[in-house]
Chains A and B, each alone.
Chain A
Amino acid sequence: MEKNNIKGWLYLIPAFLFLGVFMIYPLVDVFVYSFEEGYNSASQTFFGVGTYNYSYVLHDPYFLQAVKNTFILVIITVPLSTGLALLISVGLSSIKPLRELFQTIYFLPYVTNTLAVGLVFMILFKKTAYSDGLVNLLITAFGGKGVDFIGGPYWAKMFVLCFYTIWVVMPFKILILTSALASVNQVYYNAARVDGTSRFRIFRRITIPMISPMIFYLVITGFIGAFKAYSDAVALFGTDLNAAEMNTIVGYVYDMLYGDSGGYPSYASAAAIILFAIVLTITCINLLVSKKHVHY
């Protein structure tokens, strides 16, 4: 037994080494940087230790804008994408003909390159000197007034960003939920039918609780994913997100490191730690809520 233990640890060493070097160490390092004021990565020097980085970041209007954007994105896209994915999965599960075809179609966005999709969205939504964009054409055709979704008002840009995010994250959720639905034993539905349960009640009282672990998984990963959103905004609005008022927290971190206003690893670290704290808090809340509503 004792010998086996040593062997076990021995086998784990490579994994621990890699995890330590590439995960634990950077994490600790970021934490340390966030308290080192005026850290310079080239000269490896800093002025002092304190919470000034946090105070700077929290007072930076760009950061506050990024936090606001990120929260709007999270609050809109996570429930909407999960709900829509659930509806589509239920639809897919209840049709027989063409199911495979539809499943493939719904899964396509997952294998498509983010930037390519961004380009398509630009064509759909962007207003240029030559074209109003497809969506604007439709809006004007129905008597509405065209809006520049890419370079126009804040709500229009936020709408496109949310739309895009939902569209990108849905395939994976549909995939997970259709397989979750398929794994619910038919006998429960038969039992409910014999008891004369309405379809809606079956869905609410049987289907949802039965697949609740999967829904919960999607909500948690959805929250984390949305909080870490960045590439979607870049795909739509280009790299100067601060100017477009469309920056996200991760975008802010990136800008602080490498952007035009970059070169501030301390601020970036502080922002990253704040993001970490937010995600941790939200996940803990999720876990608490799930205790009551998720049935394993």
Chain B
Amino acid sequence: MIAVNNFDFEIPDGKLVGLLGPSGCGKSTTLNLICGLQKPTAGKIYFGDDDVTNLPPENRGVGLVFQNYALYPHLTVQQNIRFPLENLKGADKLSKEDMQKRVYEAAKLVQIEELMERKPSELSGGQQQRVAIARALVKMPRVLLLDEPLSNLDARLRLQTREEIRRIQKETKITTIFVTHDQDEAMSISDMIVVMKDGVVQQIGKPQEVYDNPVNLFVAKFLGTPPINVFEGSVQENMLYIGSEAVLAVKGAPDGPISVAIRPEGFILREDGPLHCSLGRLEVMGRDVSVVSSHPCCENTAFRSIINAENKVDLASETVGFALKPAKTFLFNRETGERIYFTSSESGRM
């Protein structure tokens, strides 16, 4: 069985990289390959210029934070953090005082100094997470790996902790790779994201770039909340049709049926807009309004468009008209899901 296939990718030094994909796409396997718990059947793994493919985990200089933290339940916080240091042998061996110093530095970094004598069972999820990070950092690894670091935390703590991870990474400047299935999480704190599907890397890039310029339908659908809206459409003579309505000029796109994906913010509310949809309801979110409407060509029964709250929507009307922003509209091959590029009249090649 192939969990990860041809993962060919260079992770820039000192950056925070988010490995993103749905569950079972091989993210954790990739992480295990990097830290050495699993061996690749083919290919090499380099840290800097060192080939670490055949090195056991301890010689790679990796720190790994497990999804459920894997803190040793019978040891105190302090003993847990000290554990990796006690394994050091030969020239790396530390004196008791040095160990203590390093343990306290790590604890200070994640702000758990006052919890040192507690057992893991006496800590909250967020505190356990910090201890796990401290334990991974204490041996000063070259690469820090985080496996779904936020999945066991509640929503409020999640926001807080991801900022925390970002801060720790910035302070230590350790190359950090973290695995997540939550695109919000990855987008918000990563310098770079790697989107994976079925063990194959789909796209690598800065979060905003990947969001603005997805290479295929999978990436487009995977990133963004609310999710992108997919319509069945067709191109005829450089004109994009959804249903029978010509909605956008798409120069350079070949004629034929295609999938049209439009970001929620890609709709412009206009009474004389070319795309007519039946109006469902409004969801007011303060600054923005989310218009829930439906269209027979849409993949889902209802889709969301986010518009500025200053626009007035006539709820009495049964239909609503939209114009499309070309930069927020993506065309994909209906069979392969590959991106089809076009030039719009308003801006350059999209």
Contacts and interface: CB of A to CB of B under 8 A. Distances in A.
Interface of A is mostly: helix
B37 A195 contact: no
B345 interface: no
B70 A193 contact: no
A201 B87 contact: yes
Q: How large is the interface on A (under 10, 10 to 19, 20 to 34, 35 or more residues)?
A: 10 to 19
A190 B37 contact: yes
Interface of B: 35-37, 56-59, 62-64, 66, 68, 70, 72-75, 83-84, 86-88, 135, 139
Contacts of A185: 70
Interface string A210-226: 10100000000000000
B87 A188 contact: no
B73 A194 contact: no
A97 interface: no
Count chain A CB atoms within 10 A of each CB in B62, B74, B84 and give the residue with the most: B74
A210 B73 CA distance: 8
Contacts of B87: 195-198, 201
B68 A194 contact: no
Nearest to B88: A196
Contacts of A206: 72
A209 interface: yes
Nearest to A187: B70
A198 to B, nearest CB: 7
A187 B64 CA distance: 11
A191 interface: yes
Contact of A191 (B70, B86, B88): B70
A191 B74 contact: no
Contacts of B75: 209
Interface of A: 185, 187-188, 190-198, 201, 205-206, 209-210, 212, 295
B66 A190 contact: yes
Contacts of B63: 194
A194 B74 contact: no
Nearest to B61: A196
Contacts of B72: 188, 191, 205-206, 209
Contact of B58 (A187, A196, A209, A210): A196
A195 B84 contact: yes
B73 A295 contact: yes
Given A190-B66, A191-B64, A196 B57 contact: yes
B58 A195 contact: yes
A295 B57 contact: no
Nearest to A196: B58
A206 B72 CA distance: 7
B57 A191 contact: no
A191 B132 CA distance: 10
A295 B74 contact: yes
10 A-B pairs closest in CB distance? A196-B58, A295-B74, A195-B84, A209-B74, A191-B70, A187-B70, A194-B57, A194-B64, A196-B87, A197-B87
A188 B73 CA distance: 10
B74 A190 contact: no
A185 B72 CA distance: 10
B84 A196 contact: yes
